[in-house]
Structure 1
Amino acid sequence: MTENPYASDILRHLERISLRKRKSPVVLFFGRDGAFSDNAKYLYLDAVAGDYGFDPLWVTADTAIASLLATQSLPVLLLDSPPKEALRILLKAAVAVFCINPNDVFADPHIRASVEGAFRLQLWHGVFAGPQDLQVTDLAPLLNPRLTYQLYGASSIDAVLSPAARYDDRFAEAFGATEVLRDGYPRNEVLFREPTEQDCLGAFRIPDQLKVSGGRNILYCPSHTRVGTPAWRESWLLDKFREAHETSGVTIFIKPHPFEAAIAPASRSLAPGLHLIAALDDIYPALRDFDLLISDYSSLMDDFHLTGKPMLVLQTPQTEKVRQHLLLPDLHYRNLAPVVTADDLPVAIEAAFGDRPSKPVSSIYTEDHHGSAARLNHYIAGQVRQRCTVRYRVTDLNGQKSGSGDSSS
Structure 2
Amino acid sequence: MPPKKPAKKPEDILPADLRRSMHWLPESSAEEREEFFTAAGEFLASADPRKLRKLPPLMRVKWQLARERRLDDLLTVLSHEREFRASSFLVSGKLRPRLEIPGLDSGSLPADVVRLGPGELPVRAKATEVLWVDGRLVVRGYAFVQNVPVDGKALLPRFAWLRQQGARRRVPVRVKARTELRATRDSGQALHAYDEAGFEIVIDPKKLRTGGQWQPGVWQLTLALPSPGVVRTGSVDRIDIGSAGHSQARELADGVRLLAGFSDERMQLTIETPAAEVAGHEETDDALRLALHVPGGSAGQAPARLLVEHKGGEFKRAYDVTRGPGGAFTADIPFADLSVGDSATAATQDFITTLEFPDGTTRRATVRAGFRPGQYLTDRGREIAVTTDGPGLLKLHDRRRQAVVDELHWTPEGELVLSGVYTGATDGLELVLRHGKYFEEKYLPFESGDGRFTLRLTPDRMPSYDGDQQLREGRWYLSFRKEGESDRKDDVPVKLRGDLVDSLPVTHQGSVRTYTVERRFFDRIFLAAGSPLREEDRGKYRQRMLRAQYVRDREKPLRNAVFYNCYHGRQFSDSPRAIYEELVRRGTDVEHIWGTNDQQAVVPPGMRTVEWKSAEWHEALATSRFLVTNVMISSWIKRREDQLFIQTWHGTPLKKMGADLLGTSKANPAYIATLPGRFEQFEYLTSPNAFTTPIMRSAFGFPNEILECGYPRNDVFYREDREEIADRVRKTLRLPEGKKVLLYTPTWRDDQRFGTGKKFKLDLQLDLAEFERALGDEYVLLFRKHPKMLNNITGARDGFVRDVAAYAEISDLYLVSDVLITDYSSSMFDFAHTGRPMVFFTYDLEHYRDTLRGFYFDFTGTSPGPLVKTTAELIDSLQNLDTVSKEYADRYAAFVKKFCEPADGLATAQVVDRMLDWAKRQQG
TM-score (norm: length of structure 1): 0.75
2:778 to 244, 249, 254: 249
d(CA) in 2 for partners of 1:275 and 1:143? Answer: 36
Structural mapping, 1:22-61, within 5 Å? 23-32=558-567, 33-52=569-588, 54-61=590-597
| Residue 909 of structure 2 corresponds to residue 374 of structure 1 | yes
**What secondary structure sits across from 1:373 in the alignment?**
helix
Aligned residues with identical type, % of pairs = 19
Task: Answer yes or no: is the 8 Å Cα contact 1:160–1:180 preserved in 2.
Answer: yes
Q: Runs of 5+ in structure 2 lacking a partner?
A: 1-150, 153-191, 194-541, 754-759
Offset, 1:280: 5.7
Structure 2 match to 1:187: 713
Equivalent pairs counted in the alignment come to: 368
Deviation per CA, 1:209-244, whole angstroms, max 9, x where unpaired? Answer: 53352x621111112232227896536532442243
Task: Answer yes or no: is the 8 Å Cα contact 1:204–1:285 preserved in 2.
Answer: yes
Higher relative contact order by CA 8 Å / sep ≥ 6: 1 or 2?
A: 1
d(CA) in 2 for partners of 1:156 and 1:282? Answer: 27
Structural mapping, 1:10-409, within 5 Å? 11=547, 14-15=550-551, 18=554, 23-32=558-567, 33-52=569-588, 54-65=590-601, 68-69=602-603, 72-79=604-611, 82-83=614-615, 85-103=616-634, 112=637, 118-139=643-664, 153=678, 156-178=681-703, 179-193=705-719, 194=721, 205=730, 209-211=734-736, 213=738, 216-228=740-752, 234=764, 236-246=766-776, 249-260=778-789, 262-263=790-791, 269-270=796-797, 272-279=799-806, 281-317=808-844, 319-324=845-850, 325-331=853-859, 334-342=862-870, 343-353=872-882, 355=885, 359=893, 361-386=896-921, 388-389=922-923
Structure 1 match to 2:90: none
Offset, 1:38: 1.5
Q: Which amino acid aligns with 2:717?
A: L
d(CA) in 2 for partners of 1:331 and 1:289? Answer: 26
Offset, 1:56: 3.4
Structure-2 change in CA distance of 1:329 and 1:240 (3 Å): farther
**What secondary structure sits across from 1:44 in the alignment?**
helix
Task: Answer yes or no: is the 8 Å Cα contact 1:48–1:56 preserved in 2.
Answer: no
Offset, 1:15: 3.4
Q: Which amino acid aligns with 2:752?
A: G
CA-based RMSD: 3.9
d(CA) in 1 for partners of 2:861 and 2:766? Answer: 22
Offset, 1:256: 0.4
Deviation per CA, 1:137-160, whole angstroms, max 9, x where unpaired? Answer: 444688876676678656653431
Offset, 1:272: 4.2
Q: Which amino acid aligns with 1:100?
A: V
Structure-2 change in CA distance of 1:383 and 1:176 (3 Å): farther
Offset, 1:172: 1.8
**What secondary structure sits across from 1:40 in the alignment?**
helix
Q: Which amino acid aligns with 2:702?
A: A
d(CA) in 2 for partners of 1:372 and 1:14? Answer: 32
Structure-2 change in CA distance of 1:15 and 1:88 (3 Å): closer
Offset, 1:43: 1.6
Larger of the two Rg values belongs to structure: 2
Offset, 1:329: 4.0
Structure-2 change in CA distance of 1:152 and 1:332 (3 Å): farther
Deviation per CA, 1:116-139, whole angstroms, max 9, x where unpaired? Answer: 973322111101212212323444
d(CA) in 2 for partners of 1:157 and 1:172? Answer: 13
Q: Runs of 5+ in structure 1 lacking a partner?
A: 390-407
Structure 1 match to 2:89: none
d(CA) in 1 for partners of 2:642 and 2:716? Answer: 32
Offset, 1:385: 3.5
d(CA) in 2 for partners of 1:379 and 1:293? Answer: 34
d(CA) in 1 for partners of 2:666 and 2:710? Answer: 35
Task: Answer yes or no: is the 8 Å Cα contact 1:38–1:187 preserved in 2.
Answer: yes
Task: Answer yes or no: is the 8 Å Cα contact 1:241–1:252 preserved in 2.
Answer: no
**What secondary structure sits across from 1:323 in the alignment?**
helix
d(CA) in 2 for partners of 1:127 and 1:346? Answer: 27
Considering fraction of residues, name the structure with more strand.
2
Q: Which amino acid aligns with 2:610?
A: L
Structure-2 change in CA distance of 1:161 and 1:367 (3 Å): closer
Deviation per CA, 1:76-109, whole angstroms, max 9, x where unpaired? Answer: 23237641x4544432222211111123xx9xx7
d(CA) in 1 for partners of 2:723 and 2:596? Answer: 22
d(CA) in 1 for partners of 2:668 and 2:779? Answer: 50
Deviation per CA, 1:236-264, whole angstroms, max 9, x where unpaired? Answer: 53244224325x6322111101222x435
Structure-2 change in CA distance of 1:137 and 1:152 (3 Å): farther
Considering fraction of residues, name the structure with more helix.
1
